[in-house]
Amino acid sequence: MSRNNVVINGATGSTWVTYRPEIKVIDCTIRDGGLMNNHKFDESIVKAVYQACVEGGVDYMEIGYKASKKIFAPSQYGAWKYCDEDDIRRVVGDNDTSLKLSVMADAERTDYHEDILPYDQSVLDTIRVATYIHQIPKAIDMVKDAHDKGYETTINIMAISAVPEREIEEALEVLVKTPVDVIYLVDSWGALYSEQIQALIRKYLSYAKPAGKEVGIHTHNNQQLAYANTIEALILGANRLDASLAGLGRGAGNCPIELLMGFLHNPKFRIRPILECIQEHIEPLREKLRWGFDIPYMITGQLNQHPRAAMQFIAEEDRKNIVKFYDSMVEEE
């Protein structure tokens, strides 16, 4: 019997560990974590995460966004909101390593024709297009642009827990006909349970595999299920797995990369550099950025709502009055 990572010999009862080499781990620490501090990470922290990913054998590092400076004023955000080539190269040089670099480009929020350079002029490898379901046509244009420029591409359909099943199917029918390499299931609000993850991953795979596309998973930890749901997805066949150091990400955060690497048992992964970076650079940020599971995030997750209200409550309100917060959220239903 096999669950892709642990194989059990029914005759002897012995166990041994194997792994799927096609699985790729994507570190989202700086990109998703930047949503907690307007992307104002010191360059030294970005470099520390980069070095940890290189030494830890991580496959991809998402270093930030390619956001429009016409929409997002540079005076209000840090460099990793825009990921200009010079800023990236100050951290990674020519990135003469096995680690691939990616950025996220939000549909309708990125001047992608101008700001995303041709592949041979950039140190980036992958453009990840984030889109809500109603923005799919724009997302497809962005994928085509990045593909024509020479990049690997993904489409990350956000807030999937709020999308009707038929709309998901219609989107997948269209996306598998594009040049996109990976289609991501994104539990933006940390609202999904394992049964829903299983059903959705099977649906994504039923469209993606015949078309030669990979499926990815990006989870949030509102109900302390980010890691468990990521494991559910990979067992069923998702090969692109998002995670972050110590789970650093918006609100409740993401699947912790240190947990995921331990589960995968791939000998290329080395957890010590990851733990060292968490100890020296990430955990010291926790008191200020205050990411991770908290009851207000649990409430928004259970109600399948965007965590913005919980983030505001945690930042501004009397955090002891969680019942008041719950009542206010239920009244909005």
Q: How far is CA 18 from CA 55, 103, 157, 331, in A?
A: 22, 31, 31, 49
Which of these, 236, 216, 222, lies nearest to 188 by C-alpha position? 222
* pLDDT tens by residue, 168-212: 999 999 999 999 999 999 999 999 999 999 999 999 999 999 999
Task: Read off the pLDDT of residues 294-332 as tens digits, 9 standing for 90 and up.
Answer: 999 999 999 999 999 999 998 876 677 889 899 999 987
State yes or no: pLDDT of 12 exceeds 50: no
Do 28 and 64 meet the contact criterion of CB atoms below 8 Å apart?
no
Query: Per-domain residue ranges for the chain?
Result: 20-288, 294-332
Closest to 287 in 3D by CA, of 312, 314, 309: 314
The tokens describing 102, both together, are 């990616």
Helix (H) or strand (E) holding 130: strand 126-131
Give the pLDDT of residue 6: 47
> Residue 329 and residue 300: Cα distance in Å, rounded?
8
What's this model's pTM, rounded to 2 decimal places? Answer: 0.93
Distance CA 143, CA 14 (A): 46
Please state which CATH class domain 20-288 belongs to.
alpha beta
Q: Which contacts of 196-200 are long-range, i.e. CB under 8 A and separated by 24 or more positions?
A: 196/161, 197/229, 197/232, 197/233, 198/232, 198/236, 200/160, 200/168
Residues above pLDDT 90, as percent of the chain: 89
Who wins on pLDDT, 316 or 49?
A: 49
Per the prediction, the chain carries an average pLDDT of 94
Q: Across the strands, what pairs with 6? A: 17
Q: Where are the alpha helices (DSSP H) in the chain?
A: 29-33, 43-56, 85-92, 112-115, 136-149, 165-175, 194-208, 226-236, 257-264, 271-277, 286-289, 295-302, 308-316, 322-332
State residue 314's pLDDT score: 86
Residue range 219-247: mean pLDDT, rounded: 98
